[in-house]
């Protein structure tokens, strides 16, 4: 995992997931989790992008 991906996982989790996996269910899940609460979105982004 690059430094850019780590920073994006923290600041903009849906963007980091989109850059790794494109549009799909993982992106939508990340978007929903980030909209509901920021921390679950970060956790999901790190799990998906690891």
| Rounded Cα gap, residues 7 and 23, in angstroms | 20
Q: Could you give the dihedral angle defined by the CA atoms of residues 13, 34, 21 and 24, in that order, rounded to the nearest 10 degrees?
A: -160
The secondary element (H helix, E strand) that includes residue 24 is: none
Give the pLDDT of residue 1: 75
| Rounded Cα gap, residues 25 and 27, in angstroms | 5
Chain segment 1-50, per-residue pLDDT in tens: 789 999 999 999 999 999 999 999 999 999 999 999 999 999 999 999 98
| Rounded Cα gap, residues 25 and 31, in angstroms | 10
Helix/strand/coil for 23 = coil
Give the pLDDT of residue 44: 96
Give the pLDDT of residue 25: 95
Q: What is the pTM of this model?
A: 0.88
């Amino acid at each position: 995992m690059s430094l850019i991906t780590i920073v994006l996982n923290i600041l903009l989790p849906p963007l980091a997931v989109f850059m790794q996996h494109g549009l799909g269910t993982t992106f939508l899940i990340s978007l929903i989790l980030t909209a509901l609460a920021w921390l679950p979105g970060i956790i999901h982004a790190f799990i998906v992008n690891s």
